[in-house]
Amino acid sequence: MPEPTRLLSADDVRRALTRIAHEICEHHSGVSNLVLIGIQTRGVPLAESISEAIADIEHEKVFVGSLDIGLYRDDLASRPTPRLGRTLMPVDLNGRNVVLVDDVLFTGRTIRAALDALSDLGRPAAVELAVLVDRGHRQLPIRADYVGKNLPTSIDQRVTVRVEAIDGENGVWVGS
C-alpha cells in the first residue's frame, strides 16, 4: 500500500480553523448566543480550537459541547462492539445558535445522526455545520456552512484527519 499523501500541514489546519472562526463571527453579529458542539471524537478538539480562535477575535469565550452520535447511527448492527464517547452540553440548547463541528464531511450520515441526537437534547434557534474537510460523495441532502478545505476524492480513498489533542499532531492525509 502506498504511503498516504499529506494534503494539509499543521499550519494549513490552523489557518483553515482561523478562517472558519472569522466566517462564524461575520455571520453572527456577536457570539454570546453561540454554542460550538464537536462531534466525538475529533470534532471535539476542533471545536475547542475554533472557540479559541473566536476568543482571539471577539475577546469572548464561546461555549463548547461534545456530542456522541453512537446511539443514533443507522449502521449499529454492522459495527463490532461500539464504543460510546461522552455527550456533554455546557448550556441549555433551547434558543441557542448551534454550530456542529466535525473533521470530515462525507456521506452526511454522521451529520444526520448528529441532528437527531441534537433534537433529543433541546430545540436550538438554528443549527449550522462546520467541517475541516469536505470530501464530497453525499448520500443525504446535507451541506456545510463553513468548510476548511474542499478535497475532491474518489469514493474508495481514505481521508485521515489527525489532531494534536488525540493524535499528537495536526494534519490531513489521503491514502488509497
Partner 1 sequence: MKHLLSISDLDRAEIEDLLTLAAEFSSVLERDIPKVPTLRGRTIATVFFEASTRTRLSFERAAKALSADVMSFAPGTSSVTKGESLKDTVLTLEATGADLFVVRHESVGAAARVAGWVNGPVINGGDGAHQHPTQALLDALTLRQRFGKLDGLKVGIVGDIANSRVARSNIDAFTKLGAQVELIAPSPLLPVDLSAFPVTVSGSLEDSLPHLDVVYLLRVQIERGSGPILPSLAEYGLRFGMNRQRLQMLPADAVVMHPGPINRGVEITADVADDPRSLVLDQVQNGVSTRMAVIFRLLGAS
Residues 6+ apart with CB under 8 A from 26: none
Q: How far is the CB of 48 from partner 1 (least distance, A)?
A: 21
Q: Which grid coordinates belong to 146?
A: 463553513
Site for partner 1 in 27-66 (CB under 8 A): none
Helix (H) or strand (E) holding 11: helix 10-27
Place of cell 499550519: 11
> In this structure, how many other beta carbons lie within 10 angstroms of the beta carbon of residue 10?
15
3-state helix, strand, coil in the chain (%, to 5): 30, 30, 40
Size of the site for partner 1 (CB under 8 A): 19
Q: Is 80 in the site for partner 1 (CB under 8 A)?
A: yes
CB nearer to partner 1: pick between 61 and 79: 79
Instruction: Spell out the alpha helix ranges (H) of 33-171.
Output: 43-58, 109-121, 164-167
Of 42-50, 82-90, 102-110, 168-176, the window that binds partner 1 (rule: CB under 8 A) is 82-90
CB distance 96 to 35 below 8 Å: yes
Q: Is 91 in the site for partner 1 (CB under 8 A)?
A: no
The one among 5, 32, 60, 86 contacting partner 1 by CB under 8 A: 86
Cβ burial of 80 (10 Å; 0-12, 13-18, 19+) is: exposed
Q: How far is the CB of 129 from partner 1 (least distance, A)?
A: 20
Site for partner 1 in 114-133 (CB under 8 A): 116-117, 120-122
Of 9-17, 36-44, 67-75, 164-172, the window that binds partner 1 (rule: CB under 8 A) is 67-75
Of 21-29, 78-86, 102-110, 131-139, the window that binds partner 1 (rule: CB under 8 A) is 78-86
Rounded Cα–Cα distance for residues 158 and 161 (Å): 10
Q: How far is the CB of 24 from partner 1 (least distance, A)?
A: 27
Q: Which residues bind partner 1 (CB under 8 A)?
A: 68, 70-73, 76-77, 79-82, 84, 86-87, 116-117, 120-122
